[in-house]
Amino acid sequence: MTEPRPAGAVHVRAPGKINLSLAVGPKGEDGYHPLATVFQAVTLYEDVLAVPDEVIRVSVTGRHADRVPTDSRNLAHRAATLLAEATGIDAGVHLQITKGVPTAGGMGGGSADAAAALLACDLLWGTGLAREELGHLAAELGADVPFALTGQTAVGLGRGDALTPALARGRFHWVLAIIEDGLTTPEVFRAWDQLNSGARFAPRISDALMQALVAGDPRRLAGHLRNDLQVPAIELQPRLREVFKAFDETSALRALVSGSGPTVAALAPDHATALAIAAAVEQADVADEVLVVSGPAHGARLVESVRDSE
């Protein structure tokens, strides 16, 4: 039985992501690393219920909820505050977040909350911004937030926030190995800096990867998966070596660290094989949780809006 929804509440769902390719360039004068990345949204979601309230506040349940701040550091809280400021509205909201995406796992869970909160508050407050305007606010909140709004598969340049949709056919099946000792994105970039001091090159995406996506061919795609943050992530989280060893013993086509890690995503040839790989990795007892997901998945989307009269 589902819980009754409070009158006026808006329920929005946004996806977590994996990076099929993440090429990193040396830090620029603005302190940021130029990136060339290909995101794919997967079927692991954040649910945000926006309920009318006097003030802006956040509560969190679900996967790793105890590790997520509920004050103004929470990205969903910041998203609601930014929308209120940008539209000059004096309104409150209680954002009730149910987490499905691992926290500090390199899958953009906080970014998904921010994207979902932007859309939910826009609907709740009737501010009626166009998707493009929401996209601009999303980019102010973080490099991965615009992608959580659009979902599917997309190329991200700049800080990862200059998005172009990518053509991808069919479904790709992934096995996720989740490690609970999260890594923070800045520490992984610092480790990358140490390993690549003096590097001079511009990050780029391989044409072969884009062609494999168009063909919808997981075997071809596997050969072009790439993550420049993988080596520093493994250095910071040595448990990942055991995870890769476990995937090596299965029919996974290829495994790679997702974003800044430590989640490892392994590409399977089909859904049935993904289930068998997950069972084998579970058995090897190298990760805290093993999940099967697929991509691409939709971006932030309204699930339900409860009218006052109901």
Catalytic residue ranges: 17, 144
Is 216 marked as binding a ligand? no
The site for ligand ATP (CB under 6 A) is made up of 68-69, 73-76, 103-111, 113, 144, 182, 185, 259-260
- Please say which residue, 148 or 290, places its beta carbon nearer to ligand ATP: 148
Is 102 marked as binding a ligand? yes
* Closest distance to ligand ATP from the beta carbon of 263 (Å): 8
- Please say which residue, 114 or 286, places its beta carbon nearer to ligand ATP: 114
Query: What DSSP string runs through 198-259?
Result: T--------HHHHHHHHHT-HHHHHTT-EETTHHHHHHH-THHHHHHHHHHTTT-SEEEE-T
* Closest distance to ligand ATP from the beta carbon of 52 (Å): 20
Q: Rounded to an integer, what distance in angstroms lies between the CA atom of residue 164 and that of residue 212?
A: 17
Is 103 marked as binding a ligand? yes
Tokens of 235: 């250095």
* Closest distance to ligand ATP from the beta carbon of 78 (Å): 8
- Please say which residue, 127 or 185, places its beta carbon nearer to ligand ATP: 185
- Please say which residue, 105 or 135, places its beta carbon nearer to ligand ATP: 105
Beta-bridged to residue 97, according to DSSP, are 48, 60
Pairing of strands 153-158, 162-165: antiparallel
* Closest distance to ligand ATP from the beta carbon of 157 (Å): 17
Question: What sign has the CA pseudo-torsion 203, 206, 210, 216?
Answer: negative
Is 268 marked as binding a ligand? no
Q: How many helices (H) and strands (E) in the chain?
A: 10, 12
Is 309 marked as binding a ligand? no
* Closest distance to ligand ATP from the beta carbon of 42 (Å): 12
Query: What DSSP string runs through 117-166?
Result: HHHHHHHHHT----HHHHHHHHHHH-TTHHHHHHBSEEEEEETTTEEEE-
Beta-bridged to residue 93, according to DSSP, are 52, 56
- Please say which residue, 109 or 135, places its beta carbon nearer to ligand ATP: 109
For residues 212 and 221, is the Cβ–Cβ distance under 8 A? Answer: yes
Is 104 marked as binding a ligand? yes
The residue at minimum Cβ distance from ligand ATP is 110
Residues of each annotated binding site = 102-112
Residue ranges for the known binding site for ATP are 102-112
